[in-house]
DNA sequence: TTGTAAATGTTATAACATAACATTATACCA
DNA sequence: TGGTATAATGTTATGTTATAACATTTACAA
């Protein structure tokens, strides 16, 4: 790999900045929902009410969200949820002891876990969300409308914010290292944990 | 077992071959156990009986194994190893292993899940095994004795055989792609699914 | 010996996910 | 429009993976 010289030319892809704390996230979500509609229309699949609700919940932030947390939000009244704190990626699952999930399945909420998992499956099948195996959680796809793609993720262990990376160089390196061993890739899972630029203000930036 | 003579001597970097079906795996396991002893001795940690049993179970093949499968094998007398030097009466409740895991915790097996998870935690902390997040399963570390390292895994979806890769080039590419975004890596998770050379005999080899 | 830290035992439950079948909604055609 | 096939959702139950909390035993050495 050559040295990265910060050339002024805007040749390559635009700088995919890590999601910043103050950004207009309502716009992220609105755009994502809009594109999701388009994707489903193009594919002839139906973005039903519950699927849309789950997708909205996933897009409430750039922090991955677990299936049962989605369920809780749906059952707590769906749309006008309070800006609840991230419960993942922090050391503890702070907060009051969650309700008994078995009780929820019986009666008490409007939806059972199956409803959420089915919606998540649909959204993944249609390339609208990704699952993060290291967290057992889900996040909206940052490259909607593109073909199903292998993605990499950067997960901040402090704030939980997760960015989707689509590095061609990384994919090349991966492909080469693997092919050398006679292996044929079907799927890849790349999840990088660490500290994001927002959580380490005095980080060394590639000065531009 | 078609004896494929290793015709040419490898010239360049020794290709860390994917584990072959007919290889002398008893040797893999024996070596791993031996090195594990050394590692623990060097670190001043104790490779106790149950930890050794779990490590042996993990090393029974190159296919990752789940915690509850390890538990079942332990409780089935899996490693029929004489309990040497352990005066602790093994609370000998004989009896057939139940299917129900909850029953196991109560009574019926010799160990509860906690015992296995604790052993797994110890083995991971000491760099003796890795956890595969995409499978919720565990595999012996292929680079024992080296410092705690970031590893990548190639997982055959047909035979389950999993190889540990330690590609410097891949790590470089990863590091660059991540650093460009101002991210600092703590941990990495790279799990590649696909077909291994043993399961695709007519693959194109880098014939030299 | 005896105190202490490490290890293990024990019980309970949390957290994540799927199987199986019933019911309702939707689309599409006659 | 009505019928019917399919998709979607509801419902109940259970499977699978992992951890919390506290009791007891063991190893080790002062
Ligand atoms: Zn945003
Ligand atoms: Zn952060
Ligand atoms: Zn082997
Ligand atoms: Zn294979």
Task: Answer yes or no: is B90 within a domain.
Answer: yes
Both B68 and B158 in one domain: the answer is no
Task: Answer yes or no: is B18 within a domain.
Answer: no
Show residues of chain B in contact with A4, CB under 8 Å: 176, 180
Token pair 């160990």: residue: B111
Determine the Cα angle at B98 with ends B93 and B101, to 5°.
105
Among chain B residues 118 through 177, which have CB within 7 angstroms of nucleic chain C?
A: 118-119, 122
Question: B71 φ, ψ to 5°?
Answer: -55, -45
Both B67 and B133 in one domain: the answer is yes
Both B41 and B92 in one domain: the answer is yes
Mutate to test the interface with A, among B135, B184, B187 (most CBs of A within 10 A): B184
Both A73 and A115 in one domain: the answer is yes
Residue A94's pLDDT is 31
Look at chain B and report how many structural domains it folds into: 2
Q: What is the CATH number of the domain that holds B98?
A: 1.10.10.10
Question: Residue B177 is inside which H or E element, if any?
Answer: helix B168-179
**What would the pLDDT profile of A133-161 be if each residue is shown by its tens digit?**
999 999 999 998 777 677 899 999 999 99
Both A43 and A82 in one domain: the answer is yes
Both B163 and B83 in one domain: the answer is no
**Phi-psi region for residue A112, left (φ > 0), alpha (ψ -120 to 50) or beta?**
beta
Both A135 and A154 in one domain: the answer is no
Both A43 and A116 in one domain: the answer is yes
For residue B99, count CB atoms less than 10 angstroms from its CB and return exposed for 0-12, middle for 13-18, buried for 19 or more.
exposed
Q: What residues make up the domain containing A181?
A: 150-208
* Positions in chain B short of pLDDT 70: 1-15, 78-109, 148, 202-208
Whole-structure pTM value: 0.82
Task: Answer yes or no: is A3 within a domain.
Answer: no
Mark out the alpha helices in chain B (DSSP H runs): 25-43, 49-58, 67-75, 101-106, 113-125, 168-179
Both B37 and B116 in one domain: the answer is yes
Both B139 and B154 in one domain: the answer is no
Assess contact for A143 and A176: CB atoms under 8 A.
no
**What would the pLDDT profile of B143-196 be if each residue is shown by its tens digit?**
987 776 778 999 999 999 999 998 888 999 999 999 999 999 999 999 999 999
Task: Answer yes or no: is A5 within a domain.
Answer: no
Residue B112's pLDDT is 97
Nearest by CB to residue B197, choosing from A169, A182, A187, is A182
Residues written for chain B: 208
Task: Answer yes or no: is B14 within a domain.
Answer: no
């Amino acid at each position: 790999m050559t040295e990265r010289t910060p050339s002024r030319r805007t040749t390559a892809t635009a700088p995919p900045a890590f999601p910043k704390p103050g950004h207009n996230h309502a716009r992220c979500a609105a755009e994502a929902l809009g594109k999701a509609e388009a994707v489903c229309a193009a594919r002839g699949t139906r973005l039903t009410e519950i699927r849309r609700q789950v997708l909205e919940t996933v897009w409430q932030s750039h922090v991955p969200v677990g299936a049962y947390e989605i369920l809780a939000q749906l059952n707590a009244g769906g749309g006008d949820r309070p800006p609840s704190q991230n419960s993942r990626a922090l050391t503890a699952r702070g907060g009051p002891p969650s309700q008994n999930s078995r009780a929820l399945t019986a009666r008490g909420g409007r939806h059972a876990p199956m409803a959420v998992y089915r919606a998540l499956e649909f959204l993944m099948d249609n390339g609208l969300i990704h699952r993060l195996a290291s967290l057992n959680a889900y996040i909206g796809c940052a490259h909607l409308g593109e073909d199903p793609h292998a993605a990499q993720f950067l997960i901040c262990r402090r704030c939980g914010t997760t960015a989707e990376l689509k590095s061609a160089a990384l994919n090349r390196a991966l492909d080469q290292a693997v092919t050398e061993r006679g292996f044929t890739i079907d799927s890849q899972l790349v999840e990088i944990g660490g500290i994001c630029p927002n959580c380490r203000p005095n980080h060394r930036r590639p000065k531009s």
